[in-house]
Structure 1
């Protein structure tokens, strides 16, 4: 007989615990007893939610109490078994209630009067479940509204393909993917070795942090912060995407412009949602042009400066405590806050490519299917025109379109025209 996978067994066990708790609460309501003199709330032992699956990891990572864990399981349960939504209706006197309302959740986790007051706070917008984005209160503004779990959380806990959020002011991140692998990354030997070391460090984090005990022996040992710095167009973001793919982790690119909110405190709340999701789904967070946010803090001339500095301080603290992987990219490492630089674990410089790297780039950017005139001297182009990898890529695409409209074979003249247009876009003089 095939053994049940641990995550499935853990989720099923959690639903069985929830079922038993609902039975108890229904009997208490039938007896018309609020439980004013009860010694405890009759909640299950928190160890019932221990394990190694997604649900157990969410509860552990978010540091949920037993009551919060019960509410979270109750919110997810109808997506596994619809009968739970109906059973919740027996825990309220309101007619036609289907699903987990805030009031039902309060009844579920609290039998004494003081505990019901505490549960009201727990379920408020300032409570951990809603503030972290694990649950939202849909409909009415009070606890008569439905508690709805984050769709991405439901998909992850139930083993479904993860949803891909659209970047917005509420979730300023988008999936970061690339068709390239780390073998396509063209770097000097020293930089390539640092990227390979970083790949190995990510791949062996579980061994070092969990199996060898560094996570229990040191604070924040699970987190990994890397900084890719160098001029624009040198492949920093592409390398971050290829790195995540090589270790089998999803990556999200943070939209820094969406972080700047006109409402004080919104930046912290928005980033909390991103970090919480990344922690539970083991995502790589990539902050492109990170010096825009992680740069040196300004002098305090007015209230806006004070709040801006508070937000930067929050980000520095949150990223340091994050148990996952963060990759920052910057055009100039000197722009990164010096206090934060000391907390970066791995720094990789992406310099402008030299003639040798440019030759390799010219050889790799053009697809094998591209018809190219025989005898083009790519090393000579690389020597004559100092371009970045991104510019070489754009020049080759430009040349391909020129060739498609003129003879359908890429010539050196097409490539030179593409090169000249890159210089024009950059406002630079083409070398003679």
Structure 2
């Protein structure tokens, strides 16, 4: 894995943005690729050239590159073939006209040259493994098979692992699949912006933000200490693995369980763990994950984990017990299906090299096997009276004032509400004031708001009059 958080490029005195450096460095590499194409075609058609093979076309020195694209090349130390494959895959997005030369028809067959191997997709020409084999002159089957082997062992190559190799069917040879750079790397190598996928069937998770600060977390000291430990891992875990030599001694990634009653701050804490460390948080949409068809739930989960691999993202599963509850010994088809989902997630979160947070309102509903996988189990309890008073005092707008009969200290002691419930009451009473064109918060509105949150007639009768 190439780490973009270390070994920063020493920028020259010329102040350019990363986008401008990408354009500059890619222009150089594209010119190199064009030269390779011209040399290979001249050799193939017996045209005059000073080269006896494309390997003589010297690749530009990456040490002079100053872009995110250049940084990747420097750290990945790509081979000639890998670098050429990467540039070919970038061409449809950055300079598609370079590949037009492969559209020439064979006069004998009145069709494009089969050996060029390009594929047309959505009106755009894409290089393939066949194109790469042609360009580097793979006349012998052994040379061709070596390229095919690299494609099949995609994850082991610093270049080929960046490619999205998807055919129309599983039967399509990898040599014939269009070379396309994965979206996250295309963003990095062009506009130099973080790739943030939208919620979709192909990526059933959405990015969530709180809009708050770490200091806004109003939680017990013990809970905050555990959250600080998780934050420490997110910020410094790579140093522990790389600099301190723990890479082979501990499991990849980090797993945490947040449990406690609704409204106690589990989602907000997950969001702020990301926002305070520069990590995006993606909340997995269970409605898009679950499927009644056998194997589809695991496939949908794999879409999320595969996309999040090797990124500084936090995956957040809210109400995780709804999907990953306790396994049973029943032999019914439904129970076996559920057990299969749990077993898959257990295996997947243990292998995932990022941060996974599972949240549950009821800890005991989760399968016991999960607890052996968690590095942290964090309990979010209801705020005590002092914390509730702080929430009441800080929640109202500066534009409003409280009716003289309102005693926030009494309210905080009398009603054990969660932080979310208190904020719901404040929002309710403030909206009442705005609708009535006044700035004073009324006691009767606070009373009504609390009744709504409690949602229980028996407890409603116990509310104090103030």
What TM bracket, shorter-length normalisation? 0.7 to 0.9
Q: 1:328 aligns with which of 358, 363, 369?
A: 358
Q: 2:443 aligns with which of 403, 412, 415?
A: 412
Task: Please tell me whether residue 345 in structure 1 is matched to residue 356 in structure 2.
Answer: no
Structure 2 counterpart of 1:170? 202
Judged with a 3 Å threshold, the aligned counterparts in structure 2 of structure 1 residues 75 and 304 are, in CA distance, closer, same or farther, namely farther
Aligned to 1:206: 238
1:113 aligns with 2:127: no
- Residues 28-60 of structure 1: per-residue CA shift (max 9 Å, x gap): 64479xxxxxxxx99x99xx99x9957987999
Within the candidate set 79, 93, 103, 2:113 is matched to 93
Residue 89 of structure 2 corresponds to which residue in structure 1?
75
| Alignment check: 8 A CA contact 1:10 1:53 kept | no
Residue 59 to residue 372, structure 1, CA distance change in 2 (3 Å): farther
Contact 2:88 2:179 survives alignment (8 Å):
no
1:281 is aligned to: 311
For residues 341-370 of structure 1, give each alpha carbon's deviation from its aligned partner in whole angstroms, at most 9, with x where no partner exists: 112112211011221221122123323334
**Cα distance, 1:218 vs structure 2:** 2.2
SS of corresponding position for 1:323:
coil
Counterparts of 1:40-59 in structure 2, within 5 Å, are: none
Match of 1:354 among 384, 388, 404: 384
Change (3 A) 1:300 1:149: farther
Offset of residue 389 of structure 1: 1.1
**Equivalent in 199, 207, 211 of residue 179 of structure 1:** 211
Give the distance between the partners of 2:273 and 2:143, measured in 1 at CA: 48
Task: State which structure, 1 or 2, has the greater radius of gyration over its C-alpha atoms.
Answer: 2
Q: Which moved more, 1:265-274 or 1:13-22?
A: 13-22
Note closer, same or farther for the CA distance 1:321–1:20 as it changes in structure 2 (3 Å cut). farther
Check the 8 A contact 2:274/2:280 in 1, yes or no.
Answer: yes
Rate the CA distance shift 1:72–1:196 in 2: closer, same or farther, 3 A: same
2: CA distance, partners of 1:356 / 1:159 = 49
User: Which ranges of structure 2 fall in alignment gaps of 5 or more residues?
Assistant: 1-11, 48-54, 106-111
3-state DSSP of counterpart to 2:298 = helix
Residues 163, 52 of structure 1: CA spacing in aligned structure 2 closer, same or farther, 3 A cutoff? closer
User: Which residue does 1:290 correspond to in 2?
Assistant: 320
Between the aligned partners of 1:232 and 1:14, the Cα distance in structure 2 is 54
1-side partners of 2:73 and 2:414: how far apart? Answer: 55
Aligned position for 1:135: 164
Asked whether the equivalents of residues 139 and 146 of structure 1 are also in contact (C-alpha less than 8 Å), the reply is no
Deviation at 1:264, TM superposition (A): 3.3
Q: Report the Cα distance in structure 2 between the residues aligned to 1:69 and 1:299, rounded to whole angstroms.
A: 52
Task: Give matches, 1:165-314, under 5 Å.
Answer: 165-215=197-247, 217-221=248-252, 223-299=253-329, 301-303=331-333, 305-314=335-344
The corresponding residue for 1:35 is none
Q: Is the 8 A contact 2:68 2:192 kept in 1?
A: no
Give 1:244 shift: 0.4
RMSD: 4.4
Task: Tell me, yes or no, if structure 1 residue 389 matches structure 2 residue 419.
Answer: yes
* Number of equivalenced pairs: 415
For residues 137 and 326 of structure 2, the distance between their equivalents in structure 1, rounded to whole angstroms, comes to: 47
- How big is each residue's C-alpha offset from its partner over 1:359-406, in whole Å with a ceiling of 9 and x where there is no partner? 122123323334444563211111112111111111111111211233
Q: Residue 119 of structure 2 contacts residue 178 of structure 2 at CA under 8 Å; is this kept in 1?
A: no
Q: Following the alignment from structure 1 to structure 2, what is the Cα–Cα distance between the partners of residues 66 and 255? A: 42
Give the 3 Å change call, closer, same or farther, for CA 407–225 of structure 1 in structure 2.
same
For 1:300 and 1:55, locate their aligned partners in 2 and report how far apart those are by CA, in whole Å: 56
Alignment match, 1:423: 454
Larger relative contact order, structure 1 or 2 (CA cutoff 8 Å, min sep 6): 1
Distance in 2 separating the partners of 1:27 and 1:308: 61
- Call closer, same or farther: CA 1:159–1:316 in 2, change over 3 Å: farther
Partner of 1:38: none
- Residues of 2 paired with 1:256 and 1:240: CA distance? 17
Moved more, 293-302 or 136-145: 136-145
